[in-house]
């Protein structure tokens, strides 16, 4: 074990893990985060706290992580390189660790033009891959990004990275995943999977290169709430592929919400059979309360005890 992370422990014990996601609010009241944590903590092994997702100002992921921890959940703080340079990123890593965070997901971050401050200056001092290496070097070399030795307690994070099998160029996606693993990623959370055929091809390439043995690959899923949501994901979200078949199913459904859950449960059951998939990450955006139902119906409840 490299860290005190509960997520690492469960993964190393060979459990098929379940993670969820909580989007922090656009205000300073933490009640929603606490409520969602109470609702989810027995159904997921860890919860991602997004970092100003879609470049919209929200309560910070680290602060949200503290609320999750206090409410009994296992936080995974997301950290993008959009808003902070290497000084601020490392400072926040030290701070987050001191507050009990043990998992971090290193990301590029959505471009600021998508958010509510499109005239902001982005930072991108380092990229997500370089951030992975920074977190790893802090942990394993006790060194700051500048090479200076860290004297005292080092932050020992279980390091996450994202992979998107649905972005292009497809052939390079597995290689970039390999780069992230080489840089220090311990676990991977993928973009939402709708195109199962493409994901299967991706995983075949992953296995060919033995990457599933070097990092834990957690497959992303998203329950769809409506046909409109399905079409939106299909047409308007870059780096996302939603097959027509799924959109059609949502359109024909008498109860679209139930159909969305049914599709998600089928996907999870299928993902569980794919060699090299170590768990699922359920991104129920603005629909966190459906996660317990999905976890139960997918036969993933109760969750294992990390001891």
- Three-state SS annotation for 235-296: HHCCCCCCCHHHHHHHHHCCCHHHHHHHHHHHHHHHHHHCCCEEEEEECCCCCHHHHHHHHH
Is residue 88 at the binding interface for other proteins, with CB under 8 A as the rule?
no
Is residue 141 at the binding interface for other proteins, with CB under 8 A as the rule?
no
- Environment class of residue 168 by beta-carbon count within 10 Å: exposed (0-12), middle (13-18) or buried (19+)? exposed
- Among the listed residues 142, 143, 176, 231, the single contact to other proteins using CB under 8 A: 176
CA distance 250 to 244: 10
Is residue 56 at the binding interface for other proteins, with CB under 8 A as the rule?
no
- Among the listed residues 117, 238, 258, 289, the single contact to other proteins using CB under 8 A: 238
Piece in contact with other proteins (CB under 8 A), picked from 61-69, 70-78, 170-178, 224-232 = 170-178
Is residue 91 at the binding interface for other proteins, with CB under 8 A as the rule?
no
Distances in Å between the Cα of 15 and the Cα atoms of 43, 106, 279 are 14, 23, 8
Is residue 122 at the binding interface for other proteins, with CB under 8 A as the rule?
yes
Is residue 130 at the binding interface for other proteins, with CB under 8 A as the rule?
yes
Q: Which of 26, 27, 17 is nearest to 48 (CA)?
A: 17
Is residue 200 at the binding interface for other proteins, with CB under 8 A as the rule?
no
Is residue 53 at the binding interface for other proteins, with CB under 8 A as the rule?
no
**Nearer CB in complex with other proteins: 122/226:** 122
Q: Which of 79, 63, 198, 175 is nearest to 132 (CA)?
A: 79
Following DSSP, what letter does each residue of 35-84 receive, concatenated?
HHHHHHTTT-SEEEE-SSGGG---S-HHHHHHHHHHTT--EEEEEESSS-
> How many positions of this chain bind other proteins (CB under 8 A)?
36
Q: Which two tokens stand for residue 240?
A: 């996302």
CA distance 111 to 61: 17
Cβ neighbour number for residue 252 with a 10 Å cutoff: 10
Q: Which of 288, 286, 307, 216 is nearest to 43 (CA)?
A: 288
Is residue 92 at the binding interface for other proteins, with CB under 8 A as the rule?
no
Asked if residues 158 and 131 have their Cβ atoms less than 8 Å apart, the reply is no
**Nearer CB in complex with other proteins: 12/113:** 113
**Nearer CB in complex with other proteins: 176/269:** 176
Is residue 182 at the binding interface for other proteins, with CB under 8 A as the rule?
yes
- Among the listed residues 15, 36, 82, 281, the single contact to other proteins using CB under 8 A: 82
- Among the listed residues 100, 210, 239, 299, the single contact to other proteins using CB under 8 A: 239
- Among the listed residues 54, 108, 234, 293, the single contact to other proteins using CB under 8 A: 108
Shortest separation between residue 254's beta carbon and other proteins, angstroms: 33
Piece in contact with other proteins (CB under 8 A), picked from 122-130, 246-254, 271-279, 280-288 = 122-130
- Among the listed residues 111, 143, 207, 272, the single contact to other proteins using CB under 8 A: 111
Piece in contact with other proteins (CB under 8 A), picked from 40-48, 128-136, 274-282, 292-300 = 128-136
Distances in Å between the Cα of 82 and the Cα atoms of 21, 112, 113, 225, 275 are 20, 8, 12, 30, 34
Contact footprint for other proteins (CB under 8 A): 82, 86, 108-111, 113-114, 122, 124-130, 133-134, 145, 162-164, 166-169, 172, 175-176, 178-179, 182-183, 191, 238-239
């Amino acid at each position: 074990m490299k860290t005190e992370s509960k997520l690492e422990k469960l993964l190393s014990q060979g459990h098929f893990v379940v993670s969820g996601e909580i989007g922090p609010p656009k205000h300073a009241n933490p009640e929603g985060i606490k409520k969602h944590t109470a609702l989810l903590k027995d159904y997921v092994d860890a919860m991602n706290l997004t970092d100003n997702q879609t470049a919209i100002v929200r309560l910070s992921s680290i602060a949200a992580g503290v609320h999750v921890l206090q409410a009994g959940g296992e936080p995974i703080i997301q950290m993008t390189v959009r808003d902070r340079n290497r000084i601020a990123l490392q400072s926040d890593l030290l701070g987050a660790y001191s507050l009990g965070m043990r998992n971090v997901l290193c990301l590029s971050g959505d471009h600021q033009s998508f958010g509510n401050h499109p005239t902001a200056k982005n930072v991108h001092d380092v990229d997500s891959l370089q951030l992975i290496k920074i977190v790893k070097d802090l942990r394993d070399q006790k060194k700051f990004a500048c090479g200076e030795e860290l004297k005292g307690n080092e932050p020992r994070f279980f390091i996450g990275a994202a992979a998107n099998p649905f972005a292009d160029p497809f052939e390079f996606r597995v290689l970039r995943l390999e780069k992230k693993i080489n840089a220090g990623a311990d676990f991977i959370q993928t973009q939402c999977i709708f195109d199962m055929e493409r994901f299967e091809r991706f995983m075949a390439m992953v296995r060919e290169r033995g990457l599933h043995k070097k990092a834990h690959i957690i497959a992303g899923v998203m329950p769809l709430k409506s046909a409109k949501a399905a079409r939106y994901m299909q047409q308007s979200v870059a780096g996302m592929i939603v097959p027509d078949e799924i959109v059609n199913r949502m359109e024909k459904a008498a109860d679209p919400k139930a159909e969305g859950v049914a599709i998600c449960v089928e996907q999870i059951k299928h993902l569980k059979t794919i060699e090299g998939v170590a768990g699922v990450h359920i991104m129920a955006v603005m629909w966190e309360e459906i996660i317990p139902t999905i976890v139960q119906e997918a036969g993933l409840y109760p969750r294992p005890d990390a001891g």
